[in-house]
């Protein structure tokens, strides 16, 4: 693989010891695929529940949507790795990627990513035209608007990237109810607002890596204090959003508000943190648990309303 540098002895050793499956899963960013599928399924599930339709009678839609979403997310992630082959070698946390170690050649990555995206779109359009169109929107937002454009040029790249991350629940909903209702847009807004504090925490941990790669992440350009203020603002914006899902009942509203309050408490503590990186790690872990608990609770509460 040619990516602008020669492979070190450590790189060759990693390439020899890493299994093909592990490399493949890293290439498609399996963690991102799995987390996004939770939000896709939540959109599907709520749309089924609120429209009084039973998913067991429409398992084809369920399968088309989940498989299609998984494929376009995996394909877009692989495309991101392809685009970033020039900067990933400069970031310590990304030197083990198969596009850096040379286990996957750029031509193979491009072919795989393109194939996954096309096949995924076929599945999504089989579910509904709206789901397919939203899938295309998500791909363009992540690959073009974020990876190819804003990531390397603008400090607001994280906010631009949040658009694509908020589309998966819309895809799930649109597969069942193409005319997206308030519930669908509530999921979109929750995911959109959740992402900046989540990724800013990660960016703080990797500030020097982003600086070395020339990526204008907020902590690199504006510093930690400004980043903490931004994270606090985004967490505050989450508070009214659960009320857009009143159909899930008061118990859900209480749970969501408690989760928001916990995150707000951590965000405020950041201004007195003795170790910024340790605090950022705590914020990052909380954000992951927040998203999982919130979306799983939506699925559970929808059954009982």
Above 60 in pLDDT, residue 220? yes
pLDDT class of 178 with cuts at 50, 70, 90: very high
Least confident of 11-15, 240-244, 252-256, 288-292: 11-15
Could you read off the pLDDT of 81-108 as tens digits, one per residue?
A: 999 998 989 888 888 889 898 889 999 9
The span from the CA of 256 to the CA of 250, in Å, is 10
Above 80 in pLDDT, residue 74? yes
The span from the CA of 38 to the CA of 32, in Å, is 10
CB of 302 closer than 8 Å to CB of 45: yes
pLDDT for the residue 165: 95
**For all residues of the chain together, what is the average pLDDT?**
92
The span from the CA of 286 to the CA of 109, in Å, is 33
pLDDT for the residue 72: 98
pLDDT for the residue 48: 93
- pLDDT more than 90, % of the chain: 82
pLDDT for the residue 304: 84
Residue 187 structure tokens: 């999921």
SS (H, E, C) 47-67: HHHHCCCCHHHCHHHHHHHHH
Could you read off the pLDDT of 142-172 as tens digits, one per residue?
A: 999 999 999 999 999 999 999 999 999 999 9
- pLDDT more than 70, % of the chain: 94
Above 50 in pLDDT, residue 3? no
CB of 184 closer than 8 Å to CB of 47: yes
pLDDT for the residue 114: 97
CB of 180 closer than 8 Å to CB of 190: no
pLDDT class of 25 with cuts at 50, 70, 90: very high
pLDDT for the residue 6: 38
């Amino acid at each position: 693989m040619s990516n602008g540098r020669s492979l070190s002895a450590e790189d060759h050793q990693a390439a020899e010891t890493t299994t093909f499956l592990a490399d493949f899963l890293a290439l498609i960013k399996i963690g991102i695929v799995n987390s996004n599928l939770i939000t896709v399924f939540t959109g599907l599930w709520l749309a089924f529940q609120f429209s009084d339709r039973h998913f067991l009678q429409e398992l084809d839609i369920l399968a088309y949507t989940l498989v299609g979403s998984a494929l376009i997310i995996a394909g877009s992630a692989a495309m991101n790795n392809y685009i970033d082959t020039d900067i990933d070698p400069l970031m310590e946390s990304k030197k083990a990627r198969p596009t850096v170690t040379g286990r996957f050649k750029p031509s193979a990555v491009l072919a795989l990513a393109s194939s996954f995206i096309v096949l995924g779109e076929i599945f999504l359009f089989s579910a509904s035209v709206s789901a397919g169109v939203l899938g295309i929107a998500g791909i363009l937002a992540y690959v073009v608007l974020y990876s190819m454009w804003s990531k390397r040029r603008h400090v607001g790249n994280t906010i631009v990237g949040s658009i694509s991350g908020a589309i998966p629940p819309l895809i799930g909903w649109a597969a069942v109810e193409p005319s997206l209702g308030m519930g669908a847009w509530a999921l979109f807004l929750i995911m959109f607002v959740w992402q900046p504090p989540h990724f800013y925490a990660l960016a703080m941990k990797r500030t020097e890596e982003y600086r070395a790669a020339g990526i204008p992440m907020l902590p690199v350009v504006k510093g930690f204090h400004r980043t903490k203020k931004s994270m606090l603002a985004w967490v505050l914006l989450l508070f009214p959003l659960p009320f857009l899902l009143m159909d899930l009942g008061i118990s859900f509203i209480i749970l969501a508000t408690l989760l928001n309050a916990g995150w707000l408490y951590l965000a405020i503590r950041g201004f007195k943190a003795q170790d910024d990186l340790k605090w950022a790690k705590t914020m990052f872990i909380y954000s992951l648990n927040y998203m999982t608990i919130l979306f799983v609770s939506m699925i559970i509460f929808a059954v009982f309303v």
